[in-house]
Structure 1
């Protein structure tokens, strides 16, 4: 578990890391972005930048509060992502979806070149993010199409005779891949029914036994289903749903913290505050005020 109090913005690419980036505009003046070609069409899907990276340790990028969904695919090697307050390994052909407005991070492992591609969105709190509560966090998939689309966009945008229609097609392919990867699983209604029940009653003291009864499966089978489809255990996903509701209430209402704690299933505001800090890196009051 990462120390929530120590989650701070960090950006260290390392001397041997190579990259290929396309950005939506020139506002971001960070050194690794400033020379990247610009494709304004990315803005049609609220994409800030896309790219491919060949990263080596000590490569590490951490955001205490990401301002948009971050989609990542591993093409070769293995790296790690910071999600739900923990560093987790991601291997070849895995698709990772990191949510907006939460601590996220990526880092390379020693002795390994991590080749990955990414799409970084820019999202506002008042709009619906590309991820839903039932979107998978990490799952296996066919990742080469996204890599090819990003490479195609990077090549086209640098051509002197680049054509807007061609750029449009590459951008649509990139966003379409992420949208499909983020699509909630609909093939198994058992899990859908479980999370619907939980979201309707976040105050309930949910246990694995009760969740398994709703899904009409064994506790172990439910555990496997949740891990396969969401990248989380059932209990971890309940905490995620509670924190997601808490963030919505903190940013859209003036309710007292005690009230919000009760709404999302915590009788003790201090316990709620500690759980919230573990997941977001900040106390609820600091989150509401926009303080670090």
Structure 2
């Protein structure tokens, strides 16, 4: 299904031809690319670590072996590649992507092309309502110019007068646009209720037939809806939910791997381990060691 990613390692390469603006929540992170960015403490209200806008050119490349928080990217021009479901996918103008926490996240510019996008990086948020839900798409159509402009406005205000009321207005716009992607109002209610029912019950032996029956749809209708609104067929989305949950449990608990396998619907730990490697790039034991 996917290629392995043993060749990837923690990477942050901007390159001489890449331009970006960044606004950050505080000045505790002193990595060079963040060090001179204006701070905006109000970002903490939405658990945003930093946000920005970028025009990237090769050799721009970012790899996070286990990113602790969700990462939203909205493309407004050109194209780049993002690792989604274990595969490199093209993200071009008019598309957005939401990368989940506790997993390998990677993206890069394409040689000979530019890639213009806005991003919002969320903090790890245990025991709080997550930005990423069971019905959130991973890579889907999205008009990103509005959030790009909102982040640019937020950056300008944070760098200048930093008027609290103006900061608040820009920040609420940024969060609203992210939520438009992660919690689309136009999503079919049957899908929304189905996946929010399934997510806390991943240990169950779900099939296309049981999923379709739960949603009061035929199997083919469910498949078409999932492809259109989530970008993947139902069983693939189920596997993604299971792997995302497994990665979170491996990163945040001391549960045995066999126990985690059972919690996410795998009776055979070897099948679980092989599936995890296909999706994440390494085995569950390696994932825990990388934490």
TM surpasses 0.5? yes
CA contact (8 A) 2:81 2:89 kept: yes
Compare 182-191 and 73-82 and name the one that shifted more.
Answer: 182-191
Equivalent residues in 2 for 1:59-70, closer than 5 Å: 59-70=60-71
Aligned to 1:140: 141
Please give the alpha-carbon distance, in whole angstroms, between the structure 2 residues aligned to 1:200 and 1:121.
Answer: 23
Please give the alpha-carbon distance, in whole angstroms, between the structure 1 residues aligned to 2:279 and 2:129.
Answer: 20
Aligned to 1:165: 165
Residue-by-residue CA offset, 1:118-154 (whole Å, 9 max, x unaligned): 1111113443421011111122223221111111112
Q: Unaligned stretches of 5+ in structure 1? A: none
Please give the alpha-carbon distance, in whole angstroms, between the structure 1 residues aligned to 2:159 and 2:200.
Answer: 50
3-state DSSP class of the match of 1:78? strand
Residue-by-residue CA offset, 1:210-267 (whole Å, 9 max, x unaligned): 5445545554543332122112222211111222343454466654322332332223
CA contact (8 A) 1:65 1:280 kept: no
Structure 1 residues 44 and 272 mapped into 2: Cα distance closer, same or farther (>3 Å)?
Answer: same
Aligned to 2:290: 291
How does the TM-score come out when normalised to structure 2? Answer: 0.88
Structure 1 residues 114 and 264 mapped into 2: Cα distance closer, same or farther (>3 Å)?
Answer: same
Residue-by-residue CA offset, 1:145-173 (whole Å, 9 max, x unaligned): 111111111211222x4412111211111
How does the TM-score come out when normalised to structure 1? Answer: 0.88
CA contact (8 A) 1:72 1:97 kept: yes
Residue-by-residue CA offset, 1:51-94 (whole Å, 9 max, x unaligned): 11110112110111111111111111111111221111112111
3-state DSSP class of the match of 1:273? helix
CA contact (8 A) 2:20 2:52 kept: yes
Compare 38-47 and 119-128 and name the one that shifted more.
Answer: 119-128
Aligned to 1:174: 174
Please give the alpha-carbon distance, in whole angstroms, between the structure 2 residues aligned to 1:172 and 1:146.
Answer: 11
Aligned to 2:278: 278
3-state DSSP class of the match of 2:108? strand
Q: Unaligned stretches of 5+ in structure 2? A: none
Please give the alpha-carbon distance, in whole angstroms, between the structure 1 residues aligned to 2:194 and 2:43.
Answer: 36
**Offset of residue 193 of structure 1:** 5.1
CA contact (8 A) 1:17 1:56 kept: yes
